[in-house]
Structure 1
Amino acid sequence: MIRASGITLRRGTKVLLDDTSFVVNSSERLGIVGKNGAGKSTLFSLLKGELDLDAGNLEMPASWRIASVEQDIRHPSRPAREFVIDGDQGLRQLQAKREQTPDSEGHRIAELETALVEADAWTAPSRAEQLLAGLGFAPDTWMKPVNEFSGGWQMRLALARALMAPSELLLLDEPTNHLDLDAMLWLEKWLAAYSGTVIVISHDTEFLDAVARSILHFDQAKLVRYKGGYEDFLTQRAERMRQTRLAWERQTRETARLKQFIDRFKAKATKAKQAQSRVKALARMETLAPLHAEAGIDLYLPSPDSMPDPLLILDDITTGYRSEQGDTPILKNVKLMLRGGARIGVLGVNGAGKSTLIKTLAQELPALAGHYRPSKGLNIGYFAQHQLEMLDAGSTPLQHLARIAPEEREQTLRNYLGRFGFSGDMVNQHIAPLSGGEKARLALALIVWQKPNLLLLDEPSNHLDVDTREALATALAEYDGSMLLVSHDRHLLRTTVDEFWIVADGGVTEFDGDLDDYREWLLQRSAQQRAEAREEARDAGNENSNSGAGETEADRKARKRLEAEARQRLSAQRKPLEKELNTIEKKMDTLRVRLQTLDATIADTELYTDARRDERVKVLAEHGELNKQLEQAETRWLTLQEEIEALEQQFNEATQQ
C-alpha cells in the first residue's frame, strides 16, 4: 500500500498540502478531485518520485512498477504499434539482449527465450493492437509513424503505451480528454479488468463514477477520503459540511457563554475560581472552522431575441474537404431539419465526421453538394477548441469584449464577464497566462454575447474543472435557444439534450434512444465488425489453401506442426480466461437470485413501517451494493468474452499464413 503521514507539499510559495495523511490500498480504484491548481498533478509527480516532500513521510512498496501517460512524445518516427510495445521496457530490454547474444551461447539463449515467454513476448504485437483498436485506431494506421498523427491522437498513443506497461500502480491524469464516448467505455472496461492499483484524476464525473471506488478530495490543503464514486462523494461531502457547520455553531454558542461568564464574574472573589476554570476550558477548546463550499462559477447564457421554426434544413447535403487534388467527401446525402428549441447531442466515434457536420452547420465548411437552407433570423453561435487559439494573447478579457461591443459602458461589460468567472482585476489580465479552462470560458462569453438562437458546441467542456462543467451544464439546461452539442462528457449530455443524432458510416441519422441505448448500439456494432473481420479472414484463408494445393510433404508436415503449436498456445491462453468466465457466471447467477429475493422484500409495503426501519436500511443498502457487484461482473464477463474472441482470431490468422 501507499502510506502518507503528515506530508506538506509546496509549489513555489503556494501550499498545496499542509500536514495531511492518506492511505491507498493495493488494487484500489481511487479518484482524485479538486479545483484546477489545487495540486492534483503535483501529487502524481510526488508519487512518481519526481518531487521531494517539504515535510512528512511517504512510503511505497519498492517493488511496485509505476505506469503513467508521458506528455513528451519521444521517438516520433516509430510506427504506432512499436511505440506502444515500447511501453513494456522490460520486454524491450530482453529482446535487445536476445538480438545481441551470439548463436554460440546456447545456454544463454535458452535462458533469454524462457524469459521472453514469461514476458509474453509472442503476444505483444496482438496485445498492442487490441489497445490501439480499443482506443479507436483503425488497423491501417497501426504501422503509421507517430508524428503523422495529430496531437490528440498522439496522446491516445501515449495512453496505449502506458496501458501496455506491466505495472502495479497506474496513474492516469485526465485520460478521457482526447477520447470519444466509445473509447471511453472501452477504457472503463479495461480498467475494471486491471489487477493493480489505479489512481485517476478526472473532471468527467460519470467516468469517475464508473471507475473509482473511493475519492480523495483536495480540500483546504488537506486530502479527505470519501467512500464510493463521485455521486457518493457529493452526498457525503454535503453531509460532512452540514455536520461541521452544526458543530461550529454549537462551539460558537459555547464560546460566547464562557466569555460572558468570565466577563461577569472574573472580578468577584467568590466566583474567581469558577471564572478561572472557564478561562482554562476556553483555552483548551479546539477552534473549529465551518467548511465552506468552494466558490463556484455561475455561467450565464442570454436568451435569444427570436426563435424561427424551423431554424435550418439540410437537403441532401454532401460535405467534406476541397483541395487541388479534388473533393474528399466525409458525409453524404444528409437530410435533416433543425427545429426551433431543439436540443440535440451528436454521437459518433472519432473521425466519423462530427466536427465536419458542426463546421458545415456553422458554414465554416461549404457543402460540396446539396442545399443548406437557413431560416430568416438564424443567428449561430459556434464554439470549438481551435477558437481558443484565436484569442489575442496580448489583450485582456475586457478588451476582447469591448471590440465586439464598443458602444457598451465598461461597467456593463465588467458585469457580464463576471458571470463567466472574470471579476475584479481578472478582466484586465492578459490572455497568455490563462489556463485552458479560463480561455474556454472567455471564448464562450464572447460567442453568446450576440444572443444566438442556435448554439453549435464542439467539446465545450474540455479543460474545464468539475465545478465549471457543472455550471456549464446548468447554464445550457436553462438556455432558451436551440443547441447542437458534441461532447464525450456523458453527464453534460444527459443533463442538457433531449435527442441524439449519430454520425456513422458517412451519414447522419436520428437516434431513437438515450446514452445507455447508444452503449448497447456500440457493443452490437463492435461485435458485428469483429464477425465480419473473421469472415473475411476465413475467406482469405480458403483462397490461400486452394492456391497452395501443390505443397510438398515436408511443407505439409511443417504446417501441421505449426498449427498444433498454435492450438497448444491458444489452449494455454484460453484456459485461465474460461476458468474465470465460469467463476463469474456462477457469481452472476448467485447475485441475481439474491437480488430477486431482495426485490420481493422491497415490494412488501410493511417494510416501510417504523418497526422495520433498521431492516429496511440494511435491505436497501445490500440491494444497492449487489447491483454494483452485478454490473462489475457483467462488465468483466464482456471483457473476457472479447479476449477469448481475440485469441481465436489470432489463431485463425496464424494458421492461415
Structure 2
Amino acid sequence: MITLREVTLRRGAKVLLDKVSATLNPGEKVGLVGRNGAGKSTLFALFNGSLHEDAGEFSRPAHWQLAQVAQHMPETGEPATDFVLAGDTRLMALRAALAQAEAEGDANPEDPEIGMRIGQAHADLADAGEHDAVPRAQTLILGLGFKTHELDQPVNSFSGGWRMRLQLARALMAPSDLLLLDEPTNHLDLDALVWLEAWLQKYAGTLIVISHDREFLDAVTDVTLHIEQQKLVRYGGNYSAFETLRAQQLELQQSAFSKQQDKIAHLQKFIDRFKAKASKAKQAQSRVKALERMEKIAPVLAEADFSFEFKEPANLPNPMLAISDAAFGYGDKTILRGVNRSVLAGQRIGILGANGQGKSTLVKTIAREIAPLAGTLTGGKGLNIGYFAQQELDVLRPQDNALEHMVRLARDVGPPAREQELRNFLGSFNFSGEMAAQTVGTMSGGEKARLVLALIVWQRPNLLLLDEPTNHLDLATREALSVALNEFEGTVLLVSHDRALLRAVCDEFWLVGRGEVKPFDGDLDDYQRYLLEEAKRLRELARAQAATTTTAAAPPPSPAASPAQRAARARPLKRELEQVEKDMARVDAARDAAQARLAQGLPPAEIAEAGRRLKALGEEMAALEERWLALSGEIEALEAAA
C-alpha cells in the first residue's frame, strides 16, 4: 500500500501540504482533487518519485511497477504502433535480450550456455505476452480515436493533441501496479473518453488520477483525496459522493455557511427559473437533474472564490442564424454537406459527434474563422458572436499581457473604457494587480481560458460558440461557467467532452457525423449507447473490407465455367482447407505444450532446443494462417459465382 505519515511538501518557500497522513490500498482507484495551485501536481511528483517529502514519511512498495504519461511532446518518425508498443518496457528488454543471444549464438553455435539463454528468452517472451503484443497496442490506439490506416503512420505526422493521445496509449501499454494520470481527458473527444473509462474500470492495479471532469471521476474512481488549505482528506466514494459529504460538512459550519446565503440564494433563483421552464423532453429532464445536483451542493459552489456572469445582450435577433444548403471543410476537402439548420434566440444546443467528424469545422465556420465551401450562413440583424476556440492561443497573443488584450479589444470592438475600468473588470476574473501585466505566454492553461472568457464577456455577445471551453478549467471554475451559461439570456452552441456541463446547459443536441448535421433525439446516455453501436458498426465494416480485399486477391473464376466445373474446382481447395485447419490445431497444441515445458523448467541442454522449437512453431503457424486466408478467399469467390 501507499502511506503518507505526517508528510510536509513545499514548493520553494510555500508550504503546500502540512503534516498530512493518508493510506491508499492496492487496487483502489483514487481521484485527486483540489483547486489549481493547491498542490495536486506536487503530490503526484511525490508518488512517482521525482520529489521527496520535506518532512514526515512516504512509502510505496518497492516492487511496484509505475506507469504514467510522459509530458513532453514526442518527436520521432517511429510508426504509431511501434511507439506505443515500446511502452511495454519489459517486452522491449526481453526482445533485446533474445536478439543479442541469437547474435552470439550465430557466432558460437556450439556454446550450450548461449542456447540456454535463447530458450529462456523465448520462454520469458511468451510469459510477457509477445504473441498478442501488437494487437494489444493497436487496440489502445484505435480506442483513443485513431483510424486503422493511421496505425503505421509516423508519430511526428500527427498534431500535438494526437501525439499526446499516443503518449497516453503508451502509458496504458506498460505493465503497471500503479498508474498515475494527470488530466488524461484533456485531448480526448467524448467517444475516446467513454472508451478510456471502460478500460480504466477493468484496470487491476492502483490508479491515481487528477481530473476536472466530474463524470469521468465518478465513472472510474472509488476514493477521493481532497487537498485544501494545506491538508489532505480522504473520502470513500467517487467525486459525487465526496461533493455530497463536503456539502454536508460545510452546512454544519453554520458561522461560515451563514455568510454564503446571498450567493446560495442567487444560485437557487436560476435553478427555480429553469426548472419551471423545463419541458418533458429527455434533454430538458437531464438538465433538471443537473440543476438539482447543483442545488444540493450549493454550499460548495458558494465557497468558490471565482464567479462571473455574461452581460445582458444588447439585442436578440430571431432567428439568430440560418444555414442553407451549406458545405463545410477546408480547401478542396468537404467534411459536411447539405447542412440546413436554424438557430433561434435562447436555444442551448450541444454539438455531438465522434472525433474527426467536423464539430470544430462547423463551429469555426459559424464563427467566420473559415468560409463555407457552398451555401449560405445568414446572421440575424445585430448578431454578435462570442467565440471560445479549442486552442485558446488561436485568439490570444503570447507576447501581450491581459491588460493589453483588454485595451485592444475596447479600442477595436468597444465599448470604450478607461484603463482603471478595464483593470477592475480583469480583477473580477482573478487578473488583479501584477497578474494583469503577466504575458499570456507564461500563463497556465486555466489562466488563458479565463482570459478568453473575460474577452468574450466584455463584448456582450448574443450567440456563444464554445469549442471545448473546459479543457484547462478546474472544477470550481467549470461550475462557475455552468452557472453563468444558465443565466445567459442569449443562444449557446457548445462542443464539449464535459458531460456534466452538457447536461447542465443544453436542452437539445445536434449530431455531426457521416458528412451531415442533424438533430439528435435523445440525451447523453442515449448518445453513449450510440457511440458504442457506431464503434461496433465500424469494426464490422473494417472486417467486411478486409474480407473483400482477400476475395479480390483470389483469381476470379472463369465466367464460362459451369456450376459443376466450379464445384469440381472447389473440392480440392476445400480438402486442402480442411488439412490446413487440422495442421493449425496440431501446431497450436504443440506450441502450448512447448510453452508449458519451458514454464516447468528443463535441463540446460533442453532449454535451447525448446526455445528453437517454439520459434519454429510460431513461423509455421503464421504460414498456415496466410494459406488459410488465401484458400478461404478462393472458395468464397467460386461459391459466389455459382
Q: TM-score normalized by structure 1?
A: 0.76
* Matching residue within 481, 484, 489 for 2:493: 484
* Aligned 8 A contact 1:31 1:201 in 2: yes
- Structure 1: 5+ residue stretches without partners: 250-290, 571-650
1:315 counterpart = 2:324: yes
Distance 1:564 1:445 in 2: 70
Structure 2 equivalent of residue 525 of structure 1: 534
Q: Cα RMSD over matched residues?
A: 3.0
* Matching residue within 204, 208, 213 for 2:217: 208
* Aligned 8 A contact 2:251 2:257 in 1: no
What SS is found at the alignment partner of 2:469? coil
What SS is found at the alignment partner of 1:405? helix
Tell me the CA shift for residue 241 of structure 1: 3.0
Encode CA deviations 1:45-83: one digit per residue, 9 max, x unaligned.
111111121111111111100000011245611110010
Tell me the CA shift for residue 295 of structure 1: 4.2
Encode CA deviations 1:299-328: one digit per residue, 9 max, x unaligned.
221121111111111111111111xxxx11
Structure 2 equivalent of residue 37 of structure 1: 37
Amino acid at match of 2:408: R
* Aligned 8 A contact 1:299 1:421 in 2: no
Distance 2:423 2:151 in 1: 50
Tell me the CA shift for residue 542 of structure 1: 4.8
Tell me the CA shift for residue 529 of structure 1: 2.1
Residue 236 and residue 654 in structure 1: after superposition, are their counterparts in 2 closer, same or farther (change >3 A)? Answer: farther
1:561 counterpart = 2:566: no
Distance 2:347 2:386 in 1: 15
Distance 1:215 1:460 in 2: 25
1:344 counterpart = 2:353: no
What SS is found at the alignment partner of 2:440? coil
Residue 41 and residue 510 in structure 1: after superposition, are their counterparts in 2 closer, same or farther (change >3 A)? Answer: same
Structure 1 equivalent of residue 46 of structure 2: 46
Count residues with an aligned counterpart: 535
Structure 2 equivalent of residue 470 of structure 1: 479
* Aligned 8 A contact 1:300 1:420 in 2: no
Structure 2 equivalent of residue 241 of structure 1: 250
* Aligned 8 A contact 2:74 2:155 in 1: no
Superposition map of 1:372-387 within 5 A:
372-387=377-392
Distance 1:2 1:510 in 2: 49
Structure 1 equivalent of residue 629 of structure 2: 656
1:516 counterpart = 2:525: yes
Residue 100 and residue 74 in structure 1: after superposition, are their counterparts in 2 closer, same or farther (change >3 A)? Answer: farther
Residue 512 and residue 558 in structure 1: after superposition, are their counterparts in 2 closer, same or farther (change >3 A)? Answer: closer
Distance 2:437 2:213 in 1: 31
Encode CA deviations 1:520-567: one digit per residue, 9 max, x unaligned.
111111222222333333444455666797889999856652365469
Deviates more, 1:232-241 or 1:452-461: 232-241
Encode CA deviations 1:415-461: one digit per residue, 9 max, x unaligned.
32233222344334443432211111111211231211111111111
Superposition map of 1:410-489 within 5 A:
410-489=419-498
Distance 2:229 2:221 in 1: 22
Distance 1:417 1:350 in 2: 35
Tell me the CA shift for residue 195 of structure 1: 0.6
Tell me the CA shift for residue 296 of structure 1: 2.1
Deviates more, 1:238-247 or 1:398-407: 238-247
Superposition map of 1:47-196 within 5 A:
47-74=47-74, 76-102=76-102, 103=105, 104=109, 105-196=114-205
Encode CA deviations 1:356-396: one digit per residue, 9 max, x unaligned.
00011111111111122222221111110334354344443
Amino acid at match of 1:399: E
Tell me the CA shift for residue 30 of structure 1: 0.4
* Aligned 8 A contact 2:383 2:462 in 1: yes
Distance 2:586 2:542 in 1: 23
Structure 2 equivalent of residue 400 of structure 1: 405
What SS is found at the alignment partner of 1:367? coil
Amino acid at match of 1:207: F
Distance 2:442 2:240 in 1: 33
Distance 2:253 2:56 in 1: 27
What SS is found at the alignment partner of 1:234? helix
Deviates more, 1:295-304 or 1:527-536: 527-536
Amino acid at match of 2:239: Y
Residue 136 and residue 409 in structure 1: after superposition, are their counterparts in 2 closer, same or farther (change >3 A)? Answer: same
Distance 1:654 1:445 in 2: 65
* Matching residue within 356, 368, 372 for 2:361: 356
* Matching residue within 223, 226, 238 for 1:229: 238
* Aligned 8 A contact 1:566 1:654 in 2: no
Distance 1:157 1:402 in 2: 40
Structure 2 equivalent of residue 276 of structure 1: none
* Aligned 8 A contact 2:328 2:372 in 1: yes
Residue 349 and residue 564 in structure 1: after superposition, are their counterparts in 2 closer, same or farther (change >3 A)? Answer: farther
Distance 1:381 1:236 in 2: 37
Tell me the CA shift for residue 7 of structure 1: 0.7
Tell me the CA shift for residue 240 of structure 1: 2.3
Encode CA deviations 1:225-276: one digit per residue, 9 max, x unaligned.
1111111111111222344557999xxxxxxxxxxxxxxxxxxxxxxxxxxx
Distance 1:652 1:478 in 2: 62
* Aligned 8 A contact 1:331 1:507 in 2: yes
* Aligned 8 A contact 1:502 1:510 in 2: yes
Tell me the CA shift for residue 31 of structure 1: 0.2
- Structure 2: 5+ residue stretches without partners: 259-299, 557-568, 593-623, 631-642
1:502 counterpart = 2:507: no
Tell me the CA shift for residue 133 of structure 1: 1.0
* Aligned 8 A contact 1:300 1:419 in 2: no
* Aligned 8 A contact 2:74 2:163 in 1: no
* Aligned 8 A contact 1:391 1:431 in 2: yes
Distance 2:588 2:526 in 1: 39
Deviates more, 1:419-428 or 1:378-387: 419-428
What SS is found at the alignment partner of 1:33? strand
Encode CA deviations 1:604-638: one digit per residue, 9 max, x unaligned.
xxxxxxxxxxxxxxxxxxxxxxxxxxxxxxxxxxx
Residue 568 and residue 140 in structure 1: after superposition, are their counterparts in 2 closer, same or farther (change >3 A)? Answer: farther
Amino acid at match of 1:155: M
Residue 545 and residue 400 in structure 1: after superposition, are their counterparts in 2 closer, same or farther (change >3 A)? Answer: closer
Which of the pair has the greater relative contact order for Cα pairs under 8 Å at 6+ separation? 2
Residue 531 and residue 390 in structure 1: after superposition, are their counterparts in 2 closer, same or farther (change >3 A)? Answer: closer
Structure 2 equivalent of residue 626 of structure 1: none
* Aligned 8 A contact 1:563 1:655 in 2: no
* Aligned 8 A contact 1:562 1:655 in 2: no
Amino acid at match of 1:350: N
Distance 2:202 2:591 in 1: 22
Distance 2:41 2:323 in 1: 45
Distance 1:175 1:655 in 2: 42
Amino acid at match of 2:469: P
Q: TM-score normalized by structure 2?
A: 0.78
Structure 2 equivalent of residue 619 of structure 1: none
* Aligned 8 A contact 1:298 1:421 in 2: no
* Aligned 8 A contact 2:27 2:207 in 1: yes
Distance 1:418 1:429 in 2: 13
Tell me the CA shift for residue 568 of structure 1: 9.4
